[in-house]
Amino acid sequence: ESKNLSVDHRLTEVCELLEKNIPYYDWVGFYFKNGDKNELKLRAFAGEPTDHLIIPFGKGICGQVAVTNKNFVVPDVKAQDNYIACSIYVKAEIVVPLFVNGENIGQIDIDSHTADPFSKEDELFLEFVNEEIAKILG
């Protein structure tokens, strides 16, 4: 449907903008809850294609954020037991949930090739990005 196509296009543009302009953002994607299923589905991204188009709730950093509704900052992915590796180059990750009308409907996920790059500023910035995205998802 055309409205969803244009939203997907805009989500991809947001991913590209972030990936191109923030040196330590090496992969940027949006995962959303997949209908009624207890899983996330990749909807838009910038960076290398990933095999992980579907992530079950609870699995990996993304799947955990789907159930906790909390930001998850990972300074060192090697220190995580419940982690899904997308690329051997990834050293750190941040996932921030996206709320529409108070409901966690998806998330922004960023991988970094830099060790421990994410600060509270990234969290606040990505919360702001998600609030803006929530307005176009309505």
Q: How far is the CB of 20 from ligand SME (least distance, A)?
A: 17
- Binding residue count for ligand SME, defined by CB under 6 A: 15
Q: How far is the CB of 55 from ligand SME (least distance, A)?
A: 6
Note whether 5 and 11 are within 8 A (CB): no
Only segment of 14-22, 53-61, 99-107, 117-125 that touches ligand SME (CB under 6 A): 53-61
In the chain, DSSP assigns E strands to: 27-33, 39-46, 54-56, 72-74, 92-100, 103-112
69-to-10, 22, 99, 105 alpha-carbon distances in Å: 24, 25, 9, 9
Residues found near ligand SME in the complex (CB under 6 A): 27, 29, 50, 52, 55, 60-63, 83-84, 86, 93, 109, 111
